[in-house]
Chain A
């Protein structure tokens, strides 16, 4: 008998997930952060060329249109913020086409929250508190906060903010990743993604939370540039045991700048002949009306459950992974 009907995860994991969701909701309830729901299906979609989305055909008589499954609830939540919702959070499904592997399932659970009036360091404090609560009893060590430039320097000796082609090549050559040279060429962003994911990230957050902040400006489309150093952005990434767990920003509130970045990404999509995305003009309108100063973060709950349960593959924490959904 084919046993593909069986769940991929154990019942113990089901209970762990329920507990984590419960604890998370209590955490935000105590802080008077409002739980919200926004649409998973939308007529607009993110422009990020690195994210592939699912497109569905909406059949309403006389109106034929595509609706997209959201790659994150970010745009809708920002429209709520601009409308005056105050601090909000959401636990929802997000969808990313073509992403499948040990740490990826094309449909996954995301916790996303926004804090009105918070700069990034305050949000990082709150992230630390939430994760300490969820990981209580797992013996997580003390949290480390380090800038991207410092951590990159520490593990590679390279300066992440200043691109030196010969130095990067020499590094690749001496560290058994010569294929990086032909793959990355003169593209600084690619080099950073390649080296960071191969030779930095695996060492981050050994049994502790590591928050990497001040990302190079070339690497974030929705974060603000740092007002003292335009080479870095107000972005933070979370790592535990080398696993990327979340990504947060001191949010960009400048509608003109946001529109410019969207257009730039749309032209990159055209050059690479990627599926056409529809710019979220309603987000731009919301930003024009005024997004309050805020910071926000998204955390992958399935990966968090992997870490909590010591699982080595994402399907061990999902009821049904994409392979047997």
Chain B
């Protein structure tokens, strides 16, 4: 794997730190006019999601991490593992709940999502930014309400619960932003 020196550090670069794959979020070059130069780096541990700050002497280097994001189709859940497939190659991957984590709230069979692979094994799963899911459970709406107001909770087919406007009914298909968990609109089938 490639070696990256501090002057190649930039947001998004994936490197190995303390034996874990990490992504650089921010890199600040700190140098007194006379004296040692440092790189102060904000970095996310891709295994734990934790963000830490680290300082390096400028010129030091880190080993690159073999981390790639691959678009895959979510196939099914066998109870223990969830299975994913790369469309072009039909290559299949499996990931347990610890790795899939909160993404499972938005994963519907056949939908596409992004699987982060580290050394060709799933490290994390992110759903598409917008997903379309149907409502399996919500209170009947009040007639006449056309938009916002307080809204009401609605349970989706994947198990997620989002707030929807009162006029949205059980059985309807809705579009949701998975980054915020917010209802966007109804979807005409």
- Please determine whether A193 and B32 come into contact, CB atoms closer than 8 angstroms: yes
Chain B residues positioned under 8 Å from A198 (CB to CB): 30, 40, 55
- Please determine whether B55 and A193 come into contact, CB atoms closer than 8 angstroms: no
Chain A residues positioned under 8 Å from B40 (CB to CB): 198
In the complex, identify which listed stretch (A5-13, A22-30, A94-102, A125-133) lies at the interface while the others stay far away: A94-102
Query: Which of A190, A194, A197 lies at the interface centre, i.e. has the most chain B CB atoms within 10 A of its CB?
Result: A197
Enumerate A239-255 residues with CB–CB distance to B below 8 Å.
244, 246-247
Q: Does A189 contact B (CB under 8 A)?
A: yes
Give the secondary structure class of A's interface. Answer: mixed
Digitize A169-211: 1 where CB-to-B-CB distance is under 8 Å, 0 elsewhere. 0000000010110010000011011101110010000000000
Chain B interface residue number, banded: 10 to 19
Q: Does A104 contact B (CB under 8 A)?
A: yes
- Please determine whether A99 and B29 come into contact, CB atoms closer than 8 angstroms: yes
Chain A interface residue number, banded: 20 to 34
Q: Does B3 contact A (CB under 8 A)?
A: no
Chain A residues positioned under 8 Å from B34 (CB to CB): 48, 50, 219-221, 247
Chain B residues positioned under 8 Å from A221 (CB to CB): 34
- Chain B nearest CB from A189 CB (Å) reads 7
Q: Does A234 contact B (CB under 8 A)?
A: no
Q: Does A237 contact B (CB under 8 A)?
A: yes
Report the bound CA distance from A125 to B139 in whole Å: 76
Q: Residue of A at shortest CB range from B37?
A: A50
Q: Does B163 contact A (CB under 8 A)?
A: no
- Residues of A that sit less than 8 Å from B by CB: 48, 50, 98-104, 177, 179-180, 183, 189-190, 192-194, 196-198, 201, 219-221, 237, 244, 246-247, 298, 300
